[in-house]
Structure 1
Amino acid sequence: MTSVSTVPAVVAWDNPPHLAPRGTVVLLPGRGEDPRLYERFGSRIGADAYRVRAVADPTRWPQDAAEQVRQLRADKESPRPFVLAGSDAGALFAVGLAAGGDVEVDALLLAGLPVPQQEQTTVPWEDELAARTSCPTHRGRLEAAGRVERGALYAPLPPAWFERADLAAISVPVLALHGAEDPVSPPAHARAAYAAAPAAELVTLVGGRHDALNDISHRTSAATVLLFLERLRAGADAPAVAVREELHP
């Protein structure tokens, strides 16, 4: 995909001023997406004192998106842990950056990870919307001018991206969110891809479509991410903070 438009600036959602930042989440958007589409996710995670940054769409500006990520990682104002996140093609690109050693990360957050499959070249806009989300609010945001490039969701991704995105080479924790009814990245195929990561956990969203961070279950997605971030901050050897107890064995 190519574009002659200006590279979007990094979009920021900060921790409340009265709370010290607890970590940094840098998000790579999906195919054709404006980073502002992640306002709902970013503001919710930011409210819990994590700094969230959304960079440019890597399918249109791969070098610029990668440089924005590197600059954020090098910024001394970016508190650790540093989590690289991505949705759709952004998730694939994020794995490639981490696996290739381009960016040092403490964890990966992957939503709707694409898998190689036969591409669809002509998909009506209504069908693309339905594949993305069942959330009426998010559908409205996608309909807004300038928020997403129509038809981009089914644009082919470079084969080299799949080759670079070696999940077996990722030693840091990975949280994967995936819609159980994702028609773009079939869950069975995605599950096999996630299984290659040595330290990955997969959360399947019942009834979910492709935009796992912005779908109808976006509150559950955000809560799942926050639990992951809190465990990441505590460290693998930290004692459990909350334990689910069985009242009726």
Structure 2
Amino acid sequence: MTHSGDYHAPDGLRTRGTVIVVPGRGETRATYARFGSRLAYDAYRVRVVDLPAADPAAVAPFLDALARRLSEAVDGIAAEAPDGLPRPLVLVGSDLGAAGLAALLAGPFSATAWWPQAAVLAGLPGQGSRAAGKWEDELDIRTHCPTHRGVLTGDAAVERGALAGAVPQGLLDAAYESAAEIPQLLLVGDADPLADRDVIARAAKSLPRARLTVVRGAHHDVLNDLQHRSVAAEIVTFLEALRNELIPAVTVETSAW
């Protein structure tokens, strides 16, 4: 059984790096088809994996299963590439996927093949945050993008009501206590009712090499809301800067807006 969705750089272009995406609660690989295609168009190799089926309340088994999922993805991409895994390797997580990645990065895994050069954590959930109500209510919390609402509604594999249960506190504690030294981009929507902006800001300030980006008007599914083009551009800018020791290729010298 396959556990991934794959997106390749256009023919004739050299692949500029590898991005592995871990979805959030209730989501599937198809949830990130638009996101994966957009990064691939910019010549990044993208693989979307499934969340492990392990219960995240049992933190250690859940993280072990997630680590195995990442290892399988990295090994698979490396085996198909003529020169091995295209680097830098960047892990992207949303919601529970973001919390899982943050908790993994806090652990003793830096010698593993899946250890990344950077991470993007989107929509980190806050303590006890949950979404009750009908499907339309959950959609309103997730995204106001009509296209993405249609993707979620039309995918029979999407688990409706998945946001009704809070992310386990033990996993959140491990995620927010991370001191991983790799560069990290944290993304949060300023209209995300499941995020704790103060906690995320403190976490970003405590990390050695982190950048916190707040997306105006965005909801919980910050990678797939109305601002998805700007968010993808922010991530590509981060990926490109990563290839140049975090020095951005473009800076603004003067501006009237």
Q: Could you say which TM-score interval applies, normalised by the shorter chain?
A: 0.7 to 0.9
Q: Which residue of 2 is the match for residue 43 of structure 1?
A: 37
Q: CA deviation at 1:134?
A: 0.6
Q: Kindly state the Cα deviation for residue 222 of structure 1 after the two structures are TM-superposed.
A: 0.5
Q: How far apart, in 2, do the equivalents of 1:15 and 1:80 lie?
A: 13
Q: What is the TM-score of this pair, normalised by structure 1?
A: 0.88
For 1:246, the equivalent position in structure 2 comes to: 254
Contact 2:96–2:125 (CA under 8 A) maintained in structure 1: yes
Structure 1 position 78, deviation (Å): 2.4
Q: Is the 8 A contact 1:30 1:89 kept in 2?
A: yes
Ranges in structure 1 where 5+ consecutive residues have no aligned partner: 1-6
Q: 89, 92, 95: which one pairs with 1:82?
A: 89
Question: Which stretch has the larger CA shift, 203-212 or 102-111?
Answer: 102-111
Counterparts in 2 of 1:178-193, with a 5 A limit?
Answer: 178-193=188-203
Task: Please give the residue correspondences for 1:4-83 in structure 2 after superposition, counting only pairs within 5 Å.
Answer: 9-58=3-52, 62=62, 64-74=65-75, 75-76=77-78, 77-83=84-90
1:204/1:164 Cα in 2 relative to 1: closer, same or farther (>3 Å)?
Answer: same
- 1:112-191 mapped onto 2 (5 Å cutoff): 112-117=123-128, 119=130, 122-191=132-201
**Deviation of the 1:66 alpha carbon:** 2.9
Deviations 1:157-192 (A, max 9, x none): 233312322454210111111101101113333323
Tell me how far 1:154 sits from its aligned partner: 2.6
Distance in 1 (CA, whole Å) between partners of 2:124 and 2:66 is 18
Give the Å deviation of 1:196. 2.3
Cα distance in 1, alignment partners of residues 129 and 23 from structure 2:
22
Cα deviation for residue 114 of structure 1 reads 1.1
The equivalent position to 2:221 in structure 1, one of 188, 211, 222, is 211
Equivalents in 2 of 1:59, 1:154: separation in Å? 17
State the 1:8 CA deviation.
5.3
Secondary structure of 1:203's aligned partner: strand
Aligned length: 240
Give 3-state SS (helix, strand or coil) of 2:211's partner. strand
The amino acid that maps onto 2:231 is: S
| Cα pair distance change 1:195/1:154, threshold 3 Å | farther
Q: What TM-score do you get using the length of structure 2 for normalisation?
A: 0.85
Q: Which residue type is aligned with residue 84 of structure 1? A: L
**Equivalent in the alignment of 2:208:** 198
Does structure 2 conserve the Cα–Cα contact (< 8 Å) formed by 1:181 and 1:187?
Answer: no
- What's the RMSD between the two structures over aligned residues? 2.2
Taking every aligned residue pair, what percent have the same amino acid on both sides? 39
**CA shift for structure 1 position 57:** 1.9
Tell which deviates more after alignment, 163-172 or 195-204.
163-172
Residues 25, 155 of structure 1: alpha-carbon distance in 2 compared, 3 angstrom cutoff: same
Partners of 2:239 and 2:107 in 1: CA distance: 23
The verdict on how the C-alpha distance between 1:158 and 1:29 changes in structure 2, with shifts beyond 3 A counting, is same
